[in-house]
Structure formats: structure tokens, C-alpha cells
Amino acid sequence: MQETQENFIPVYLFLGFLEAGKTKFIQKMLEDEQFHFEQNILLLICEEGEEEYDSSQFPGNHIFIHVIEEKEELNEANLLFLADKYHAECIMIEYNGMWHLKDILSNKPDNWKIFQTVLVADASTFLQYHASFKNLVTDKLNLCELVVFNRFEHRVNPEELHKIVRAVNWRTLIYYEMDNGELSFDDIQDPLPFDLNADPIMIKDEYYALWYQDIMAEAKKYQDKTIVFRAIIDRNADFPPDVYIVGRNIMTCCVEDMAFSFFLAQYHKTFTVRQNHWAFVTAKIMVQHHAARNADIPILNILHISDCTPPETETALFT
């Protein structure tokens, strides 16, 4: 039977390193009666620091806390058991900063839907963490929709923090928390390095990763626009003969996180694909809504293909 929206359990995922202020941030949320509307909330704690939760400040008695001691406990069977045990209608996870996100994302039950992902970071130590654990920082930034830099109070140049975030995630919101608890929105402008009003829009090699991230986040603004870019074109034997795969490898931080980031494309002319086949592609963007993922997906309608040599740097990077 197909799942309906009513079967989903919303999940709030809180990321950050030890003593970054995650517990305090979550405590404030749970003290707000407007947040949960008498739902049974299961709070999974994957990392215990000096700060502890004060359950006496929670409204009602429907917030349940469970500590995850080991990463191996993040398996589907155990998570389903915990949700059933506490009759959870909402899940909040204070995640361990030293664990990769794949450990929870690949093991969570199918009906656990990530509703919001927040990275809470100590502004005074974030640059050090980034220098020492860049792959773990990148892992968290890549998914989060909101970054809150607490303990800010102008201890760090916001442009340094902003640059690190934007090098990984173009769309996440950034806030700075002052010592008095007030939040200041990061309004540093980041104009896209290509002209969305051009016809066609030319995507330079060095901007493929940024463009791919942008179109996947806001596909609708590219509807009916014509794009020119260089990429690898390939085939999949399971697809119809006029459907191609067009994309490039994108590396966010290190070789381990490199992934082939591609589009499905239609081309109604005969075209022979070779191994590692690079081409300049001119395509019109068509956007389709994917109901299961609740996302708008860009599809390429290829107008023209011309063979070319690979770019100087074959792996696309965020610049």
C-alpha cells in the first residue's frame, strides 16, 4: 500500500561538534509550546556533553529522551522499535559530530522524513574544526538548511565563516547568535557567477558544481531556459534508446565524497557514446515534479551535442 503524508514521522536533525551548543538550542525549542502541539516527541541523543536537558522546563509530559551510545544502534530495526516504544509522532536527533550523516540517513526507517536539518556551531572554534576535520564539517554543511553560529559577538570575521559555508552549500540560511541571545541574519550577497537571463546560459567548467547545486535546489527558475555546458555523456542499457545520462564528478571536500552528479536527458537524434565521452551540450530545461521525493527534477531536452576534449580539471569543484 502506498504511503500517505499522514504515515510520515517528521525528523528534526541537529548537527554540530561537541560543546557547540546543540543541547541549549534544542532545549529552547522544546520549551516552546508552539513547536510541538502536544505531539509525542522522541529525542535521540547521540552525543552527551557537559550541558544537560532540563525536562522540568518542558511543557507537558510527552517528550521522551533516549541516549544512543554506539553508532551501531542506528539501525532500522532499533529505530523502529524506539519510535514504537514511545509512540513517537515527531523525532528529534542530537547527532554526534564525529559520525558521518550516512550512518543515520542510510539506516533510518522509510517513513522517517527529514523535516529540517540544522547545524549549530561555536563561532569561536569553527575555523579550528574546519582545519582539523574538514571532511566531517563538509559532510554536515552539505545537507543542512540552517546554520547557527553561536558565541559569535564579533569574535570571528563573518566573511570567513560565510565563505566556508558557501563553498559547500549555496542555499543554507546562516545566522549569528550574539551573547545576549539575539540572532543576526547573514545578508552577505552571493551573486551567481552566470547570467540566468542570458539565452543561452553559459556554464563555465569551474562553475558546474555550483550550477548543479543551484538547479537541484531551485529547478523551477530554470524552466524552459537553454543551457550550454561541458560534461560526460553516457548511456544506461535499462533506459530507452533516446535517454542519456549527462553529468560530471563533483568533489565537495575530498576524494571519498566524490560523486557523479548527472541529469537525465532526451536526445532524438542518433548519437554513438564512447567511454569517457566528453561533449559540449546545448539543452533546454524541462522540470518535472517527483512525487515520492517531493522535489522538482530538471530534465534535459538536448538540442545539440558536439564532441570536445575534457576540461583541464575533470572533477568539478566548488569555487
Which domain, by its residues, includes 240?
Answer: 201-317
Together in a domain, 180 and 253 = no
Number of domains composing the chain: 2
Q: Is residue 195 part of a domain?
A: no
Distance CA 92, CA 10 (A): 9
- The reported pTM is 0.69
Distance CA 82, CA 307 (A): 54
Distance CA 49, CA 61 (A): 24
Amino acid symbol at 135: N
The pLDDT assigned to 319 comes to 61
Confidence tier at 37 by pLDDT (50, 70, 90): low
- Point out the domain boundary residue: 125, 153, 185: 185
Dihedral, CA of residue 184, residue 166, residue 133 and residue 75, to nearest 10? 90
Q: Is residue 287 part of a domain?
A: yes
Together in a domain, 121 and 214 = no
Distance CA 216, CA 121 (A): 26
Together in a domain, 131 and 269 = no
The pLDDT assigned to 252 comes to 72
In this predicted structure, which of 99-108, 117-126, 153-162, 220-229 has the lowest mean pLDDT?
153-162
From the CA atom positions of the chain, what is the Rg in Å?
A: 22
- Point out the domain boundary residue: 151, 185, 219: 185
Together in a domain, 148 and 274 = no
- Point out the domain boundary residue: 118, 150, 185: 185
The pLDDT assigned to 239 comes to 93
* CATH number for position 248: 2.40.50.140
Confidence tier at 180 by pLDDT (50, 70, 90): confident
Together in a domain, 210 and 125 = no
| Mean pLDDT value of segment 181-186 | 90
Together in a domain, 211 and 306 = yes
pLDDT, one tens digit per residue, over 242-277 is 999 999 999 876 666 788 999 999 999 988 999 999
